[in-house]
Amino acid sequence: MTMHRFCHFLTAMTATIVLAACGGGQDAAPASHAERTYVAPGEMDEYYLFYSGGHGGDVRVAGIPSMRHIKTIPVFNPNAAYGYGYDDQTRAMLGDLTWGDVHHPALSKTDGVYDGRWLFVNDNAHNRVARIDLRDFKTKQILGPIPNTAGNHGASSVTDNTEYVFGASRFATPLPRGTVASLDDYADEYHGVVTAIRVDPETGEMSPAWQVLTPAFQWDLSSTGKGPSHGWFFVTSYNSELAHTRLEIGASQRERDYSAFVNWQRAAEAVENGDFERIDGIPVIDPARVPGVMYYVPLAKSPHGIDVDPTGQWIVGGGKLEPSATVFSFEKFLAAVKNQDFVEEVRGVPVVNPDAVTEGMVPVGLGPLHTQFDGRGNAYTTMFIDSKVAKFRLPPWTDQEKADLEQVVIDRIDVHTNPGHLVVGGSDTRAPYGDWLVSMNKDASGRPLPTGPQIPETSQLIDITGERMTMVYESFTDKEPHFAQILRADLIQPIGFYRRAENNHPHQVWSEDDAFVRRNGNVVDVGMRALRSNFVPDNLEFQVGDTVHFHITNVEQTNAMSHGFGLSGHNVMVDLSAGETRTVTVTLDRPGVYPFYCTVFCSALHQEMQGYIVVYPRGQLPNN
Is residue 388 part of the contact set for ligand K7E (CB under 6 A)? Answer: no
For ligand CUA, the closer of residues 99 and 597 by Cβ is: 597
Query: For residues 350-379, which are near ligand K7E according to CB under 6 A?
Result: 369-370
Q: How far apart are CA 394 and CA 364, in angstroms?
A: 12
- Burial class of 295 by CB neighbour count within 10 A (0 to 12, 13 to 18, 19+): buried
DSSP bridge pairs for 194: 168, 212
Q: Quick one: which of 269, 266, 289 has its CA closest to 277? A: 289
8 A C-beta contact, residue 582 and residue 83: yes
Q: Quick one: which of 606, 612, 614, 621 contacts ligand CUA (CB under 6 A)?
A: 606
Stretch that binds ligand CUA, among 137-145, 455-463, 497-505, 600-608 (CB under 6 A): 600-608
Site string for ligand CUA, 559-588 (x = CB under 6 A): ----x-------------------------
Q: How far is the CB of 258 from ligand K7E (least distance, A)?
A: 18
Residue 224's CB: how many other CB atoms inside 10 A? Answer: 27
Q: How far is the CB of 322 from ligand K7E (least distance, A)?
A: 15
DSSP 293-359: SEEEEEEESSEEEEEE-TTSSEEEEEETTSSSEEEEEHHHHHHHHHTT-EEEEETTEEEE-HHHHEE
Q: Residue 162 gets which letter from DSSP?
A: S
Q: Residue 537 gets which letter from DSSP?
A: S
For ligand K7E, the closer of residues 54 and 225 by Cβ is: 54
Q: What, of ligand K7E, ligand CUA, none, does residue 130 touch, CB below 5 to 8 Å by kind?
A: none
For ligand CUA, the closer of residues 217 and 498 by Cβ is: 498
Is residue 61 part of the contact set for ligand K7E (CB under 6 A)? Answer: no
Q: What angle do CA 269, 274, 279 make, to 5 degrees?
A: 110
Nearest position to ligand K7E, beta carbon: 420
Q: How far apart are CA 102 and CA 90, in angstroms?
A: 18
Q: How far is the CB of 560 from ligand CUA (least distance, A)?
A: 12
Q: Quick one: which of 62, 168, 602, 613 contacts ligand CUA (CB under 6 A)?
A: 602
Is residue 555 part of the contact set for ligand CUA (CB under 6 A)? Answer: no
Is residue 482 part of the contact set for ligand K7E (CB under 6 A)? Answer: yes
- H/E stretch holding 34 reads helix 34-37
Q: Quick one: which of 61, 75, 68, 72 has its CA closest to 42? A: 68
Q: What, of ligand K7E, ligand CUA, none, does residue 598 touch, CB below 5 to 8 Å by kind?
A: ligand CUA
Q: How far is the CB of 342 from ligand K7E (least distance, A)?
A: 30
Q: How far apart are CA 4 and CA 133, in angstroms?
A: 42
Q: What, of ligand CUA, ligand K7E, none, does residue 126 touch, CB below 5 to 8 Å by kind?
A: none
Q: How far apart are CA 110 and CA 360, in angstroms?
A: 32
- H/E stretch holding 35 reads helix 34-37
For ligand CUA, the closer of residues 224 and 554 by Cβ is: 554
Q: How far apart are CA 92 and CA 269, in angstroms?
A: 35
Q: How far is the CB of 597 from ligand CUA (least distance, A)?
A: 8
Phi, psi of 348 (to 5 degrees): 85, 0
Residue type present at position 404:
D
8 A C-beta contact, residue 198 and residue 206: yes
Site string for ligand K7E, 203-242 (x = CB under 6 A): ------------------x---------------------
Q: What, of ligand CUA, ligand K7E, none, does residue 86 touch, CB below 5 to 8 Å by kind?
A: none
Q: Quick one: which of 55, 103, 226, 412 contacts ligand K7E (CB under 6 A)?
A: 103
Q: How far is the CB of 103 from ligand K7E (least distance, A)?
A: 4
Q: How far apart are CA 50 and CA 403, in angstroms?
A: 40
Q: What, of ligand CUA, ligand K7E, none, does residue 215 touch, CB below 5 to 8 Å by kind?
A: none
Stretch that binds ligand CUA, among 32-40, 159-167, 378-386, 602-610 (CB under 6 A): 602-610
Q: Residue 47 gets which letter from DSSP?
A: E
For ligand K7E, the closer of residues 51 and 296 by Cβ is: 51
Q: How far apart are CA 156 and CA 128, in angstroms?
A: 10
Q: What, of ligand CUA, ligand K7E, none, does residue 606 touch, CB below 5 to 8 Å by kind?
A: ligand CUA
Q: Quick one: which of 172, 300, 572, 609 contacts ligand CUA (CB under 6 A)?
A: 609
DSSP bridge pairs for 120: 106, 131
For ligand CUA, the closer of residues 38 and 601 by Cβ is: 601
For ligand CUA, the closer of residues 327 and 600 by Cβ is: 600
Is residue 294 part of the contact set for ligand CUA (CB under 6 A)? Answer: no
Is residue 600 part of the contact set for ligand CUA (CB under 6 A)? Answer: yes
Q: How far is the CB of 469 from ligand K7E (least distance, A)?
A: 19
Q: Quick one: which of 266, 421, 551, 582 contacts ligand K7E (CB under 6 A)?
A: 421
Q: CA neighbours within 13 Å on the CB side: how many for 237?
A: 30
Residues 246, 250, 252, 253: what is their CA dihedral angle, to the nearest 10 degrees?
160
SS (H, E, C) 246-264: CHHHHCCCCCEEEEEEEEH
Is residue 318 part of the contact set for ligand K7E (CB under 6 A)? Answer: no
Q: How far is the CB of 246 from ligand K7E (least distance, A)?
A: 21
Handedness of CA 568, 573, 579, 580 (dihedral sign): negative
> Going along 365-408, which residue ranges are E strands?
368-373, 378-383, 388-393
Site string for ligand CUA, 83-122 (x = CB under 6 A): ----------------------------------------
For ligand CUA, the closer of residues 218 and 562 by Cβ is: 562
Q: Quick one: which of 528, 598, 613, 615 contacts ligand CUA (CB under 6 A)?
A: 598
Residues at the site binding ligand CUA, with contacts judged by CB under 6 A: 563, 598, 600-602, 606, 609
Binding site for ligand K7E (CB under 6 A): 103-104, 153, 221, 304, 369-370, 420-421, 482-483
